[in-house]
């Protein structure tokens, strides 16, 4: 036995396996996932696992390594989020999202930090040794809403698109603010004196970190799109580039202390459109599927590790500090949302209703990012208190808020996501209105959203498409693309309906309708085929095949499910052959 | 700048990126890959890279780590090979393959070992310090044909299926022999005296290592199939299990010193059939695509690293030893193939022709497995000589044999792979003959290939399918499955022909046929749509849409490409709706 040799990959594989099996386990009982969010169940599994490890070894189970979290577990989730981000609602609400993400997060950081400092001044709580800077540092890591936790809960409750993008967009974009404030306060903690220059430098950093992330992301995204121009002869590695470039954008941003999350989102959103046009349909299925799979596994691992890491002796318990942390997190977020929404609503026609405001405030879940950040803190005597408070806040938000948000959404009758996709008619009208509004804005000299969108579209079709797309001489209109997609989907549906609708023995619906007499025999044949080569059955089978084979063997160019030997029109058939040949050429 | 923090993933990503870009680069010039095999080009890139690193740093570039090779790079390639192994020719020729893999490899090991020991006795060569055991150890690592190198070359030359499976199957299954002999001789080298008991134990190990690998692989394969029974509600992680279980089988086999390659192949071949039936179509596309992608990247990295590792000061040059190694490798392989094929041909009706024999002998390429094994040798004073000899043999086989095998195949007019897939009629006849021969074998009391195949089929449908398949009450006959596949493919083809045949502006063939007058205008509309919202064009577009939209908006349940508003038969339409509803329920 040589366990040492294979230990690292073996244990990683086993952890992933455990996570996947846990996921399957939950879904075996259909009722469980509809009541409790998966994230809670996974943390629960983690707690049990941690308890077992603790019980067996009599020492704290390993905590989730912050490096592993930030370098390997977080990027797949963010990439998935960025790639499948609905770009229209995102850009329509970008102002509001940024307001929540930047001003809201700063508000929360300072609100929580200062009020916790106030609590620390109460002598009875014995917390006087926690300085203001340490409180602010703690505030900076606990204030930010976590994209992983938000996604896990909001994906299951299906609120309307705008509400979803407001909470989710905020949770993604606040990363830049968190990175800056966390690093700022951490360096302040280690400095002997703080000059006002440092504070101003900190403010300047916001823009560098955020915009730098966008720039890094976009440049990698466009490089990715450009690379996929040349993969025509080697389709099999196309999906790889999507993953490689977006991961590189994340790592590069992290290397320069920029916001990795912002970079990977910019990269994914920037490349999506061009990559999709360049790569083959199967590559695209693989990209989408694998992204979902990877993020799902990462997500599962994160929550299980969160549970495992909770168990152990890393905690220092102090009732008042921990309770007030939870309360302040809730209160300051609620206040922040109320105040900011008040200003947002003054400038918008589509206002955010008070119900929506409540869900935005209530949906501010904390997760693994805070947890990893608190472990990354430099060692000081109250670190264990911070760890305990962070753990409680995460568990409180994920369990209490996560489990009650669905009933609350039902109770308040919050507007849900529309179930059906927009019809072609609607899409055309939206597009028409876009052009119209762009025209109006242009005439009235108002440089609004539609004006910029139109300019961007123009720049895109004039320059970007020519550089990044392989077949730039064929810029397909989105209507044609939609039509193609519908037709493809429909063709597959029809093929499946023919088979799946009628059990395994009827090769197709039409076949069963026209060869009704033989198909019953086919049932017998197919079922017995597996057992023994009974000459009777074989005879029977040959007879049926002799009658059916003609049609089947004409599958090559001229076969068509809808033109049976009798009723096929020769002209249409000839056209069909022509078109297939044309395609092959 | 914080490079330390992201170094490991960043460098890994960059290497993969380099490999993928190199691959794209080769395919930009269409003529290059048709003359030189990709493996040669990649080694060449590696040599250049190694030269650059050597020139810049003035010390040897890092050699490929054997652990990384065996734990991370080799498994994806073997998994891909096992999963896409054509099982029929493999099992039809399993006897011949095993003979080549076991007896042939042992023959080569001892032949090369003893004759090199003979060379070492020549005083002029100054090699007397290389003992017989060391020569045999060297023989054991240089004798085995490498699956990665064989696959890279044989995938491009398209020889007939039987020839391909003989060379490729041998290269996979000889792993068990290589593992046993290599470890045996290595332990002998460290032992003071060798008892005859040890030699017999070594012979016994063959069976343990080989059969143990098969057993480990099959048990993981069946567990994988069983697991996918329960993934119906959570399709997105289905592909994961295929990868996880096969990787675990490899690691487990390696852990117990069994043959990991044999295990992963048994796992992949064992699970394939059941997993394919259980998982969704999209999951299956992802599995296939990702497997190909992963193995392609591994393969590329291996050859690049081979090139990089060649440069440097790890070599001790000794002309006679190195030249005779190359000669003996060629001679003993040729002799082995001749002798073994003589016996094989006496017992078979389909004999292996002398042309085929030549290609089998000539296709015995060496690759990265030898290279990794030679670096794993314990340090002794002639290790660098062995490294040099191994490198030369690999480069000679990959470059000289790899580049000349294609012209030779052309020159000898070796039977090629048939281009077209077998027709349905052929498939049915093959199946019919299988049943017939099984019956004849049963009656005549001869327990041959068909008898066992039939018994296995029986066992499979009686027990295995019931345990491993989700819908075991619907054992689809392979003919029905083929029919379904053809129909699906055809449906997609039709959908594409409608769009692709006529450029981007014609949404579908029928549409262009029936709305000929409007479609020309559509071309104009679509092309100008990107530019400006010209009211003229918009008007035009609305008119066209008003006429077309009715058909498009009925896409929901009743839309059918072949039933236009005018000629649709109401009964057929009703049936179609029924069947789609039935499916949705």
A6/B236 CB distance under 8 A: no
Which 8-state DSSP code applies to residue B198? H
Q: Element (H or E) spanning A110, and its range?
A: helix A105-120
Mark yes or no for CB contact A488/B495 under 8 Å: yes
Lowest mean per-residue pLDDT among A19-28, A541-550, B301-310, B502-511: B502-511
Pick from B66, B61, B26: which is nearest to B47 by CA? B61
Q: How confident is the model at residue A165 (pLDDT cuts 50, 70, 90)?
A: very high
B473 vs B479, higher pLDDT: B479
Sign of dihedral through CA atoms A538, A540, A543, A545? negative
What average pLDDT does this structure show over A532-561? Answer: 42
- Provide the whole-model pTM: 0.78
Distance (Å, whole) CA B315 – CA B352: 40
pLDDT at site B332 = 94
Helix ranges restricted to H, B311-423:
319-346, 354-362, 368-375, 383-395, 402-412
What pLDDT sits at residue A481? 64
Query: CA–CA separation, A308 vs A57, rounded Å?
Result: 14
C-alpha dist (Å) from residue A136 to A139, A150, A206, A377? 5, 24, 17, 13
Provide mean pLDDT across the span A286-291.
88
Which residue from A9, A72, A290 is facing B290, i.e. has the nearest CB? A290
How close, in Å, is residue A112 to chain B by CA atoms?
Answer: 30
DSSP string for residues in B272-311: HHHHHHHS-HHHHHHHHHHHHHHHHHHHHHHHHHHHHHHS
Q: Which residue has the higher pLDDT, B366 or B469?
A: B366
Contact assignment for A236 to B289 by CB distance below 8 Å? yes
Q: Does any CB of chain B come closer than 8 Å to the CB of residue A237?
A: yes
* A20:B240 CB<8 A: yes
- Taking 80 as the threshold, does the pLDDT of residue A530 lie above it? no
Structure confidence at residue A576 as a pLDDT band (50, 70, 90): low
Q: ∠ CA A249-A254-A259 to the nearest 5 degrees?
A: 85
User: Nearest to residue A146, comparing CAs of A113, A177, A168, A179?
Assistant: A168
Looking at residue B495, what is its pLDDT? 67
- What's the gap in Å between the CA of B353 and the closest CA on chain A? 34
| Rounded Cα gap, residues B120 and B140, in angstroms | 17
Question: How far away is chain A from the Cα of B554, in angstroms, using its nearest Cα?
Answer: 10
Residues near B11 by Cβ (< 8 Å), separated by ≥ 6?
none
Q: What is the mean pLDDT of residues A351-358?
A: 90
- Report the SS3 class of residue B253: helix
With a cut of 90, say whether residue A573 has pLDDT above it: no
B516: exposed, middle or buried (C-beta count within 10 Å: 0-12, 13-18, 19+)?
A: exposed
Q: Is B289 on the interface with A (CB under 8 A)?
A: yes
- A269 is written with which tokens? 């959103």
Looking at the domain that runs over B64-412, which CATH code has it been given? Answer: 1.20.1530
**Looking at per-residue confidence, does B554 or A250 come out higher?**
A250
Chain A positions in Cβ-Cβ contact with residue B290 (cut-off 8 Å): 239, 286, 290
CB contact under 8 A, A13 and B513: no
Residues forming a β-bridge with A510: none
Quick one: pLDDT at residue B224?
A: 93
Of the candidate ranges B79-88, B147-156, B296-305, B494-503, the one whose mean pLDDT is the lowest: B494-503
Q: Are B26 and A233 in contact (CB under 8 A)?
A: no
State which residue of chain B sits closest to A559, comparing Cα positions: B490
Quick: pLDDT tens for B326-348. Answer: 999 999 999 999 999 999 999 88
Token pair belonging to B349: 């009706």
Beta-carbon contacts of residue A535 (< 8 Å; ≥ 6 apart): none
Q: Examine the pLDDT at A467 and tell me if it is beyond 90.
A: no
Task: Report the distance separating Cα B209 and Cα B225, nearest Å.
Answer: 24
Sign of CA dihedral B331, B337, B340, B341: negative
For testing contact with chain B, the best of A70, A282, A286 (most B CBs within 10 A): A286
The confidence score (pLDDT) of residue A561 equals 39
Whether the predicted pLDDT of B581 surpasses 60: no
pLDDT in tens, B461-476: 788 888 888 775 455 5
Structure tokens at B527: 């092309």
Point out the least confidently predicted range of A44-53, B202-211, B414-423.
B414-423
pLDDT of residue B522: 39
* Interior angle at CA A291, CA A286 and CA A296, nearest 5: 130
H helix or E strand, kind and range, residue A318 = none
DSSP annotation string for A227-242: HGGG-TT-GGGHHHHH
Around A243, how many Cα atoms within 13 Å sit in the side-chain half-sphere? 27
- B370 neighbors B394 (Cβ within 8 angstroms): yes
Residues A280, B223 contacting (CB under 8 angstroms)? no
Measured between CB atoms, does A286 come within 8 Å of chain B? yes
Q: Pick from B139, B129, B81: which is nearest to B294 by CA?
A: B81
- State the pLDDT at residue A480: 64
Show which of residues 511-530 on chain A sit within 8 Å of chain B, judged by CB atoms.
513, 525-527, 529-530
Task: Determine the average pLDDT of the residues in A147-174.
Answer: 88
The Cα–Cα gap between A475 and B503 comes to 11
Instruction: Please tell me if residue B467 touches chain A, with a CB cutoff of 8 Å.
Output: no
B501·A256 Cβ contact <8 A: no
Mutation site for B-interface testing, chosen from A240, A241, A473, A537 by largest number of B Cβ within 10 Å = A240
Q: Is B527 exposed, middle or buried, given 0-12, 13-18 or 19+ CB atoms closer than 10 A?
A: middle
| DSSP letter string, A41-93 | HHHHHHHHHHHHHHHHHSSPPPPPPHHHIIIIIHHHHHHHHHHT--HHHHHHT
Helix segments in B501-534, DSSP class H: 509-514, 516-529
Q: Which residue of A has its CA nearest to B19?
A: A237
- For residue A206, CA distances in Å to A114, A140, A258, B200 come to 21, 14, 10, 72
Question: A339: which residues sit within 8 A by CB, 6+ positions away?
Answer: A107
Interface membership of B44 toward A (CB under 8 Å): no
pLDDT at B574 over 80: no
Rounded Cα gap, residues A524 and A514, in angstroms: 18
Name B416's bridge partners.
B159
Closest in A2, A423, A487 to B255, CB measured: A2
* pLDDT value of residue A131: 86
- pLDDT recorded at residue A511: 36
**Partner-chain contact B504 A24, CB within 8 Å:** no
Q: Is A552 in the B-facing interface, judged by CB distances under 8 Å?
A: yes
pLDDT of amino acid B306: 87
Extents of the domains making up chain B: 64-412, 424-469
A–B interface: beta-carbon pairs under 8 A: 301
Burial level of A39, CB count in 10 A (0-12/13-18/19+)? buried
Using an 8 Å Cβ cutoff, are B185 and B133 in contact? yes
When mean pLDDT is compared over A283-287, A307-311, B213-217, the highest value belongs to: B213-217
Helix, strand, coil % over all residues of chain A, rounded to 5: 80, 0, 20
Tell if the CB–CB gap between B24 and A227 is shorter than 8 Å.
Answer: yes
Q: What is the mean pLDDT of residues B314-325?
A: 86
Using the beta-carbon criterion (under 8 Å), do A559 and B490 form an inter-chain contact?
yes
pLDDT of A316: 82
A218 vs A151, more confident: A218
Highest mean pLDDT among A38-42, A167-171, A521-525, B23-27: A167-171
Mean pLDDT, rounded, of chain A: 79
User: What's the token pair of residue B515?
Assistant: 């709305």
- The reply to whether residue A21 touches residue B513, judged by beta carbons under 8 angstroms, is no
- Top residue of B4, B76, B494 to mutate, by most chain A CBs within 10 Å, is B494
For residues A540-548, give the mean pLDDT. Answer: 47
Cα first-last separation, chain A: 58
Instruction: Give the residue-averaged pLDDT of B280-300.
Output: 88
Please determine, for residue B300, whether its predicted confidence score (pLDDT) is greater than 80: yes
Q: What is the pLDDT of residue A547?
A: 43
Spell A69-91 as b/e; 16+ CB within 10 A means b: bbbbbbbbbbbbbbbebeeebbb
Q: How confident is the model at residue B498 (pLDDT cuts 50, 70, 90)?
A: low
Confidence of residue B249 (pLDDT cuts 50, 70, 90): very high
Q: Supply the pLDDT for residue B245.
A: 94
Say yes or no for a CB contact (<8 Å) between B30 and A290: no
Average of per-residue pLDDT values in chain B:
79
Per-residue pLDDT of A251-268, as tens digits, reads: 999 999 898 999 999 999
Question: Tokens at residue A512, please?
Answer: 């069963």
Q: Is A247 on the interface with B (CB under 8 A)?
A: yes
**Res B479 pLDDT > 70:** no
């Amino acid at each position: 036995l040589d366990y040492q040799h294979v230990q690292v990959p073996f244990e990683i594989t086993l952890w992933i396996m455990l996570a996947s099996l846990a996921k399957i386990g939950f879904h075996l009982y259909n009722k469980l996932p509809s009541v409790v969010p998966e994230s809670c169940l996974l943390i629960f599994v983690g707690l049990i696992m941690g308890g077992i490890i603790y019980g067996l070894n009599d020492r704290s189970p390993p905590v989730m390594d912050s490096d592993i979290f930030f370098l390997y577990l977080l990027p797949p989730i963010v990439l998935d989020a960025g790639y499948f981000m609905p770009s229209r609602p995102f850009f329509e609400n970008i102002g509001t999202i940024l307001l929540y993400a930047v001003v809201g997060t700063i508000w929360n950081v300072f609100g929580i930090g200062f009020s916790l400092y106030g609590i620390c001044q109460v002598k009875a709580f014995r917390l006087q040794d926690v300085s203001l800077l340490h409180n602010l540092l703690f505030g900076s890591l606990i204030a930010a809403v976590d994209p992983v936790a938000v996604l896990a809960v909001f994906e299951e409750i299906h609120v309307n698109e705008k509400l979803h993008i407001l909470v989710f967009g905020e949770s993604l974009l606040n990363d830049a603010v968190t990175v800056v404030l966390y690093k700022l306060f951490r360096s302040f903690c280690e400095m002997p004196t703080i000059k006002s220059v440092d504070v101003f430098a900190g403010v300047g950093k916001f823009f560098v970190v955020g915009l730098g992330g966008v720039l890094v992301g976009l440049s990698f995204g466009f490089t990715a799109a450009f690379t996929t121009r040349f993969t025509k002869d080697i389709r099999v590695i196309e999906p790889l580039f999507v993953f490689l470039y977006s991961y590189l954008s994340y790592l590069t941003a992290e290397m320069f202390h920029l916001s990795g999350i912002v970079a990977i989102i910019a990269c994914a959103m920037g490349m999506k459109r061009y990559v999709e046009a360049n790569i083959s349909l199967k590559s695209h299925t693989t990209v989408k599927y694998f992204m979902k799979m990877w993020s799902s596994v990462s997500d599962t691992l994160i929550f299980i590790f969160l549970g495992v890491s909770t168990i152990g002796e890393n905690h220092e318990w102090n009732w008042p500090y921990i309770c007030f942390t939870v309360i302040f997190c809730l209160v300051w977020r609620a206040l922040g949302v109320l105040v900011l929404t008040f200003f947002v609503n003054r400038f918008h026609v589509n206002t955010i209703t008070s119900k929506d405001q409540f869900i935005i405030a209530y949906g501010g879940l904390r997760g693994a990012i805070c947890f990893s950040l608190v472990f990354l803190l430099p060692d000081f005597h109250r670190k264990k208190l911070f760890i305990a408070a962070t753990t409680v806040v995460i568990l409180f938000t994920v369990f209490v808020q996560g489990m009650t948000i669905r009933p609350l959404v039902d109770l308040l009758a919050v507007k849900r996501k529309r179930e059906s996709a927009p019809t072609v008619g609607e899409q055309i009208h939206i597009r028409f209105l876009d052009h119209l509004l762009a025209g109006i804005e242009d005439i009235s000299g108002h440089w609004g959203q539609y004006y910029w969108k139109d300019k961007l579209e123009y720049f895109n079709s004039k320059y970007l498409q020519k550089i990044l797309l392989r077949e730039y001489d064929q810029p397909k209109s989105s209507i044609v693309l939609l039509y193609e997609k519908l037709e493809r989907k429909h063709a597959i549906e029809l093929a499946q309906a023919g088979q799946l609708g009628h059990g395994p023995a009827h090769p197709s619906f039409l076949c069963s309708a026209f060869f009704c007499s033989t198909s019953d025999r086919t049932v017998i044949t197919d079922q017995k085929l597996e057992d023994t080569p009974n000459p009777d059955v074989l005879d029977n089978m040959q007879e049926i095949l002799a009658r059916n084979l003609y049609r089947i063997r004409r599958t090559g160019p001229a076969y068509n499910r809808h033109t049976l030997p009798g009723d096929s029109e020769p002209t249409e058939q000839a056209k069909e052959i022509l078109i297939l040949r044309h395609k092959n050429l």
